[in-house]
Amino acid sequence: MTTLLNLPAEVQVLIASNLPFPDLLALKLSHPYFYRIIHPTVYDRVNWLLDRPRLGLPIPSQTKCVMKNDVVFVANKEVKEMLKRRRLHLECVDVGKDGTCLVLEGWKCPKAGTSAMRKRLLRKQMYVFWEVLKNYLAVLFTIDIDPRIGALLWHYALGIVLAALAVVVAIWRTTTASPESAVP
């Protein structure tokens, strides 16, 4: 049985040279042999970051991104989150509207079209919304304000609830309407 380890070193390096940074890093960490021969460069890291806006994906913007080596680069909070979202195919759900996978470039995403993934995202979004609304209402109940301003704040809270309900219904419709996608 031929595996990647059995291929000649030149072929292994050729394969590695065509991988994007996250896959190159994963290959490097998959086996001690690859750890010794694969060395992602600053060019690989920068190239991966520059490709992200082209795909409609975010790049690190809140923190300083040090390109010195893999360990320091991946230790960045935003980069770590981007790699996690990529590994879980969450970026495919956010950007790959036609079911195209951003991890398995050009293929149908095995996770993006699943209703389970969409439901999980919906639950997460609803949890964040509920926490914001709960805190907003807690502040509204604890402060002593003019009744006219209080009425305006209640109308504002009602508007937030109705907007969130509209989003939930829209997401629910897309979740139930889309069939499970299959990997070719």
Mean pLDDT, rounded, of the chain: 75
Query: What is the predicted pLDDT for the residue at 33?
Result: 92
Question: Does residue 180 register a pLDDT over 60?
Answer: no
Q: Give dist(CA 165, CA 120) in Å, integer.
A: 17
Q: What is the CB neighbour count within 10 angstroms for residue 127?
A: 10
Question: Does residue 114 register a pLDDT over 60?
Answer: no
pTM of the model: 0.56
Which range has the top average pLDDT, 9-18, 60-69, 89-98, 157-166? 9-18
Query: What is the predicted pLDDT for the residue at 182?
Result: 39
Spell out the domain ranges in the chain: 4-87, 115-177
Query: What is the predicted pLDDT for the residue at 67?
Result: 85
The DSSP secondary-structure symbol of 97 reads T
Instruction: Find all residues with CB under 8 Å of 35, minimum gap 6, and list them.
Output: 28, 29
Question: Does residue 15 register a pLDDT over 50?
Answer: yes
Question: Does residue 95 register a pLDDT over 70?
Answer: no
**Looking at residues 125-136, what average pLDDT do you find?**
70
